[in-house]
Structure 1
Amino acid sequence: DGEAVGAVGIDVESGEIVLVESSAVILAAGGLTKLYKRNSASINMGGEAFSLALHAGAELIDMEFVQFFPIGHLAPRMVGMDPIMWDPFRYKVGGRLLNGNFEEFIHNYGASDSGTYTARRDVASYAIYKEVEEGRGSPHGGVWLSFDHISEDVMKEKFGPMIGRLAKNGIDLQKSAIEVSPIAHYHMGGIRVDTQMKTRVPGLYAAGEAVGGANGATRLSGNAIPEAFVFGERAGRFSAAFAKGRSRMPIEEAAATAIISEPKFQLKKGAKPDGSATALMTELQSLMWDKVGLFRTGEKLEQALLRIRTMKKDDLRNIIIPDNAPFNQALLDWYELRAGLLCAESVTLAAINRTESRGAHQREDITEASPEFERNQTVELSGDELVTGWAEVPRISYTLEAKQAAVI
């Protein structure tokens, strides 16, 4: 009847289908930045929340806006450390960005660090992207970040215990530069909700980075953590109130089982995993990075959309999955790929429709913002097809009152 009544999943250990009845459901499975070749995401940030929302009948919003962090770690290999750790140190200590020829280049892009190396993030991202595109990148396709002009005493003072952790990764900033590159970091788009975190599906709520529309075309630094706290509290409070006044509805087992058993015809007794889903996910990540990444064009976006739809229609259906009930990683990879392809299609389709440059959506073929597109774009699933639409941006009139800050 178009209402959220629970969830269906797979017990990985046993391979059994699990039904969970609930009077309300909250989707809080994060964003989709894992879909890009270079990203700061955990391994489970592949857009599953958005795929689940679409299949449940909810709308997505602002899917074209993906935020890229300019100074992400690229090489050498680093374990147990944040890939976006370098940007604060670049500002704090004065790290120099150098191209593959070990030349400073920021000044060639209309910015001057004047010895302080504090170029804006968008300028740094564009400059790095262009240096690599024009063949002046570092060996791994980024640029160099160098601290070799900073004294050892200053480095120890500013980096503190990080020096020891870097040493365990074989990195000595006094002796060699590290390679950095823009990386996918955050997604402003997501599930469309109201102020109570409700979707348009009764009983279905969302929280955290799974929510779209809260940050506009780009996110201010520091918003993500309070966003998780505020949206999480509100989703919990309002979903609990909704559930309290609603009788739990039984899940139709046959219908629920059919939803999750979609790849059943691809399960083969005795088959060996061939890594097809993993290979396709790797291809998808490269495709999103190359065609739907930092700077876009209509031609690149159309090429990406065509390949994504072919992968979704043909390649996904041709994957052979071993019929091993317990710990069937090949089956889990298939589900992740299915969700990733739907999300990638949503981002790409929305980017094609927004024929302007705004915020994190930058098109090299249309470089200016247009008043016509000062609107939110929505995405929904109609049958097997994605359908987009436009919605006016809610505008709230309010006045901020001056208050005395507490002295701590």
Structure 2
Amino acid sequence: MRDVPPTATGESAAAVEYDTVEVDVLVIGAGAAGARAAIELVDRGVDPEDVLVVGKRQHGDAHTTWARGGVNGALGTLDPEDDWTIHAADTLNEGHHVNDPGKVETVTRRMPRLLRQLDEWGMDYSRTDDGEIDQRYFGAQSFRRTAFAGDYTGEALLDTLVEEARARSVPKRENVFLSQLLTDENRVLGAAGTDLDTGEFVVFDADVVVLAAGGYTGLFERHSSRDDENTGDGLALAVEAGASLMDVEFVQFHPTGMVGDRYGEDWDGRLVTEAVRGEGGRLYNAAGERFMERYSPDQMELDARDVVARAIAEEIEAGRGTDSGGVYLDISHRERSFIEERLPRMYERFAELGVDMAEEPVEVAPTAHYGMGGVAVDDEGETAVDGLYAIGETMAGVHGANRLGGNSLAETIAFGEVAGAAIAERLMAGEREPADNALHDAAVAHLQGLSALANSDGANDPAALLEDLRSLLREHAGILRDDDGLAAGLERLEELRARATDLAVNGTTSRSYEFALNLGFGVTVADTVLRAARERTESRGAHFRTDYPDTDAEWRRNVLVERDSVGAARLSTEPVGSPSEAVQEALDAGYELDYHQLE
């Protein structure tokens, strides 16, 4: 345990103690992206003892496990005419062409090899009759390229990566909440935070920091994450350290989240995997109409997620929804044995809730599911802050205005590999820089603030304010947006920010302390979402402005948000690049899913 050192000016600070941990590479986030980066580092010759993976939860219990439906890669198992260029074209089309084409191609080129590598590592894929990795249809994909393990693909993938990391003796540390990156002159020095088990403060002295901490849709009222996940940690840490955020206005609302009193409050918004529709599930309104015939007669339930989500919202708004404010998803026309084999987790979940999917439909409504935006990074995942990387859902660039289903898991392992390789090369080329006063001065200032927060006896409950924030974003930055609503959201956010300065917290091991930290991150990220959504005066993909309902060719640009020298948000835009000749050829060919093959 380290006592507070003198500050750079020689002045002593209030008493606060902390442990210091020295490591070459600190990976923040223990999901698929973080695990894959750590594996690559070791495979590239970095000593495992020079790497540390830190997570807010227990190791192996990350949001990755909730990605059910599958992971994309143009293996051509069932459709041999598929290839990586068509996968890239589908991704760009789904992203409404504000994706970074280079990052898209990085993912789609690598995925066939990476899927086979996971197979070699023992991933529990579903198989065809001849033993090949099976692939299913997913929304807006031209061919069957979504590999899967029943409907628990994320769980199977993360289990595989965790076992590989263990086999390489990659160190890990659980239940640590990192609340600030420590920097000096645009160089990352490490991070500071709290061990949630012991309540003690800890400082990590690191040459390189990798943010693999998930996304930000847990900040919305109805969402598919657990309540203490996807609260914008990585984005807030990055922007407060001097990095830029990009595309944060693009929030994907998955069409099928659970809704209805019969399921209970704990299940509200939880995902009903797209695999249900990929295996032939149909959507009906309360009048029994298969309403997607009106909105997308060619692609039906497997059109892009933004299209299906808005269609459901319009049905509900028109009074054709259920009493619970949803619609029906029905796969009961399939054989019971088929459902049990292809959708085992969904079947079991609803059976435990008293619903037999083989006999009756389930109720669903759109739920905040994925943030296409994130931290702006270069081709290797590095941010504008030297030594700071961001990968997985924390990074921006791959998905554009709307994510292709099955690409989230693909992005995690592809950019985990890319960043791991780049960092390993960086480490081999240079000497580790020792800790200096800048690290500890920055740490002390932050930890003093945490100590004051942990012992604050204010008037407001952090958990209640976090719920207010979620309600604010749902109301003002939901599926349908306009300038008046976004401006009102920013005003409400300022009121909430003021209340957040007067919190009641019960010590560093309390849930109220964790909620308070989540609230701080949430306010930071919500501000960027509202401002970026107001800046983009068009409708594109998941961003739909009722006052600007058309897509504007002049807005084929990315919106970036950064903090200026006094902490205020500063917005700018930059043009999108062009795809390679090979991918452009695939775009020009106009491949498209023929949904009716499922009928």
Distance in 2 between residues matched to 1:126 and 1:401, nearest whole Å? 29
Question: Does the Cα contact within 8 Å between 1:309 and 1:345 map onto a contact in 2?
Answer: no
Amino acid corresponding to residue 140 of structure 1 in structure 2: S
Deviating more after overlay: 256-265 vs 184-193: 256-265
Q: CA deviation at 1:303?
A: 1.2
Counterpart of 2:328 in structure 1 is: 144
Distance in 2 between residues matched to 1:50 and 1:139, nearest whole Å? 37
Match of 1:286 among 466, 471, 485: 471
Q: Given the alignment of the two structures, is residue 386 of structure 1 paired with residue 386 of structure 2, yes or no?
A: no
Counterpart of 1:376 in structure 2 is: 558
Distance in 2 between residues matched to 1:304 and 1:267, nearest whole Å? 28
Q: How does 1:290-301 map to 2 (within 5 A)?
A: 290-301=475-486
Question: Does the Cα contact within 8 Å between 2:252 and 2:306 map onto a contact in 1?
Answer: no
Match of 2:239 among 15, 40, 54: 54
Counterpart of 2:391 in structure 1 is: 207
Distance in 1 between residues matched to 2:195 and 2:372, nearest whole Å? 31
Post-superposition CA distance 1:130-186 (Å, at most 9, x none):
2333444323322233456x37xx233334445455322321236654220111121
Distance in 1 between residues matched to 2:441 and 2:304, nearest whole Å? 55
Match of 1:44 among 224, 229, 232: 229
Distance in 2 between residues matched to 1:137 and 1:262, nearest whole Å? 48
TM-score of the superposed pair, with normalisation by structure 2:
0.60
Q: How does 1:315-394 map to 2 (within 5 A)?
A: 315-322=499-506, 324-325=507-508, 327-382=509-564, 383-394=566-577
Deviating more after overlay: 302-311 vs 83-92: 83-92
Question: Does the Cα contact within 8 Å between 2:195 and 2:201 map onto a contact in 1?
Answer: yes
Deviating more after overlay: 388-397 vs 361-370: 388-397
Match of 2:219 among 31, 35, 42: 35
Distance in 1 between residues matched to 2:269 and 2:528, nearest whole Å? 28
Cα root mean square deviation, aligned: 2.9
Q: In 2 relative to 1, CA 91–310 (structure 1 residues): closer, same or farther, beyond 3 Å?
A: same
Q: Given the alignment of the two structures, is residue 2 of structure 1 paired with residue 183 of structure 2, yes or no?
A: no
Q: In 2 relative to 1, CA 96–188 (structure 1 residues): closer, same or farther, beyond 3 Å?
A: closer
Post-superposition CA distance 1:184-233 (Å, at most 9, x none):
12111111111111111111111111111222222222211121111111
Question: Does the Cα contact within 8 Å between 2:217 and 2:370 map onto a contact in 1?
Answer: yes
Counterpart of 2:285 in structure 1 is: 98
Distance in 1 between residues matched to 2:484 and 2:268, nearest whole Å? 37
Partner SS, residue 558 of structure 2: strand
Q: How does 1:109-258 map to 2 (within 5 A)?
A: 109-112=294-297, 121-147=305-331, 150=333, 154-160=335-341, 161=344, 163-173=347-357, 176-244=360-428, 245-251=430-436, 252-258=439-445
Distance in 1 between residues matched to 2:424 and 2:277, nearest whole Å? 45
Structure 1 gaps, min length 5 = 403-408
Partner SS, residue 317 of structure 1: coil
| Structure with larger RCO (C-alpha < 8 A, sep 6+) | 1
Distance in 2 between residues matched to 1:81 and 1:361, nearest whole Å? 23
Post-superposition CA distance 1:79-131 (Å, at most 9, x none):
899943354324534434223xx3426268444489x8656543431222123
Q: In 2 relative to 1, CA 238–87 (structure 1 residues): closer, same or farther, beyond 3 Å?
A: closer
Amino acid corresponding to residue 201 of structure 1 in structure 2: V
Amino acid corresponding to residue 368 of structure 2 in structure 1: A
Q: In 2 relative to 1, CA 158–106 (structure 1 residues): closer, same or farther, beyond 3 Å?
A: same
TM-score of the superposed pair, with normalisation by structure 1:
0.86
Q: In 2 relative to 1, CA 337–174 (structure 1 residues): closer, same or farther, beyond 3 Å?
A: same
Partner SS, residue 10 of structure 1: strand
Q: In 2 relative to 1, CA 110–14 (structure 1 residues): closer, same or farther, beyond 3 Å?
A: closer
Partner SS, residue 137 of structure 1: coil
Distance in 1 between residues matched to 2:459 and 2:289, nearest whole Å? 45
Q: CA deviation at 1:44?
A: 1.8
Amino acid corresponding to residue 199 of structure 1 in structure 2: T
Post-superposition CA distance 1:2-41 (Å, at most 9, x none):
2101111111222221111111111110111101112222
Partner SS, residue 24 of structure 1: strand
Structure 2 gaps, min length 5 = 1-184, 586-599
Q: In 2 relative to 1, CA 21–117 (structure 1 residues): closer, same or farther, beyond 3 Å?
A: closer
Post-superposition CA distance 1:27-72 (Å, at most 9, x none):
1101111011122224321100000001111111111111111122
Deviating more after overlay: 347-356 vs 60-69: 60-69
Amino acid corresponding to residue 157 of structure 1 in structure 2: F
Q: Percent identity?
A: 32
Match of 1:309 among 488, 494, 497: 494
Deviating more after overlay: 23-32 vs 220-229: 220-229
Question: Does the Cα contact within 8 Å between 1:73 and 1:86 map onto a contact in 2?
Answer: no
**Alignment length, in residue pairs?**
391
